[in-house]
Amino acid sequence: MTDQSANDKAKVLLEKYLNGNCSEEEQALIEQWYLTLGTEPIDLTESALLEDFAELREISIAPIKTYNKLRFLLPSAAAIAVLFMTVLLWQWKVDGNIKEEEVTLTQDFAPGSNKAILSIEGEADISLSGGQEALVSDGDLLSYSDGTSIKALESVRQVKLSTPVAGQYKVQLPDNTVVWLNALSSISYPTVFAEDERRVTVTGEVYFEVSPDKNKPFIVETTEQRIEVIGTSFNLDAYGDNGNTLTTLVEGSLIVERNDIRSNVLLKPGEQSIVSTDHKIVVKKVNVDEESSWKDGLYIVHDASLAQYAKKIERWYDVQIDMGSYADESLSAIIPRNAKLSEVLQAIELKTGVKFFIEERRVMAIN
């Protein structure tokens, strides 16, 4: 197969995928390529193929619902080369020149999904529908985003939305602020905010798109810190992994204040504050997509240790992971959150060479 022939096949395959017209085998091919993408930019060189993909290269990571609706970023000539080589390998497999490697994992686990518990002051807990993705709080009415009523309230109540392990959910607060909850997370708030402020309490990891209101600041409280904003978008990771609470500002501005000492910082977009149990507030520049892409159905991992990423896998797949001697091994990858656990482990193996064994709900790196 000539280079031009491979280029043409790559272009056609991508176009079919984006239009949802792939066969199951073609879809699997593209998804496998997607799982192997790195995040480091490489200088682009001109070619007919790159020109054909110019529009796609400009697309940033976008929300994904299913693989068929996946929109992804072509970050570099290297990514194009990976697809080019994948098309070659696929063609050889179709021709019977190579054999597909057998999967060695004997167990598999589905990713997390929409599920949450709604706790209303003075009422029994309510398990929210997994067929819905968002709770809407509109004064005296709690409903789903499609308008289906959950509970009518006669007075102002304190409510709490909680996600279990392998769960996620979204909520629209009374002021139209939108909040995404990752697994093992929660948000507590009143069904009607006070006249002078909007105060919520959170645990775990949440992403906020705060509705602007100069006369009523939005206050977020966690165990370690207090955040004050007027209108902004930010990601808050209060899981406490490694003893740290991470606040990443996407747009706008906000003030982060430690609870135990009189210390605060003003964050600018692209900055992250780190509040730990034994240090002052540290601020650093970060890639905001890496920190908040989980809400759009992706994990963008750049030069993170396997031990760090293992925490995310544990919460999302309800498993325990032992990375053993590979805990400090570095990983860079883009991995869809709706991939099965076996696909995630295979992606890690492609990037690092580490192999895994699953026993019941425990995943172990093979030394």
The pLDDT score that the predictor gives to residue 13 is 63
The pLDDT score that the predictor gives to residue 25 is 62
122-152, pLDDT tens digit by residue?
999 999 999 999 999 999 999 999 999 999 9
Contacts of residue 97, Cβ cutoff 8 Å, sequence gap at least 6: none
Tokens of 26: 């073609």
The pLDDT score that the predictor gives to residue 54 is 35
111-120, pLDDT tens digit by residue?
999 999 999 9
Lowest mean pLDDT among 51-60, 110-119, 171-180, 219-228: 51-60
Contacts of residue 235, Cβ cutoff 8 Å, sequence gap at least 6: 205, 206, 207, 208, 246, 247, 248, 250, 288, 291, 292, 295
Top-confidence residue, 55 or 97? 97
Arithmetic mean of pLDDT, 2-18: 57
Map out the domains of the chain as residue ranges: 3-94, 113-291, 297-365
Cα 263–chain centre separation: 30
DSSP 166-179: TEEEEEE-TTS-EE
Instruction: Indicate if the pLDDT at residue 27 is higher than 70.
Output: no
167-182, pLDDT tens digit by residue?
999 999 999 999 999 9
Instruction: Indicate if the pLDDT at residue 49 is higher than 70.
Output: no
pLDDT band at 30 (very low <50, low <70, confident <90, very high): low
CATH architecture for the domain at 113-291: Sandwich (2.60)
Pick the CATH number of 297-365 from 3.30.360.10, 3.30.420.40, 3.55.50.30, 3.40.50.2000: 3.55.50.30
The pLDDT score that the predictor gives to residue 129 is 97
Instruction: Indicate if the pLDDT at residue 163 is higher than 60.
Output: yes
DSSP 219-251: EEE-SSEEEEESS-EEEEEES-GGGEEEEEEEE
Write out the H or E segment, with its range, that includes residue 149.
strand 149-152
Instruction: Indicate if the pLDDT at residue 251 is higher than 70.
Output: yes
Contacts of residue 294, Cβ cutoff 8 Å, sequence gap at least 6: 182, 205, 207, 312, 337
Top-confidence residue, 297 or 104? 297
CB atoms near residue 103 (< 10 Å) = 11
Arithmetic mean of pLDDT, 62-87: 36
* Rg of the chain, C-alpha, whole Å: 22
Arithmetic mean of pLDDT, 156-173: 98
Mean pLDDT of the chain: 79
Residue type at position 261: I
The pLDDT score that the predictor gives to residue 17 is 60
pLDDT band at 259 (very low <50, low <70, confident <90, very high): confident
Nearest Cα to Cα of residue 61 among 233, 331, 271, 297: 297
Instruction: Indicate if the pLDDT at residue 281 is higher than 80.
Output: yes
Arithmetic mean of pLDDT, 12-16: 64
Instruction: Indicate if the pLDDT at residue 310 is higher than 50.
Output: yes
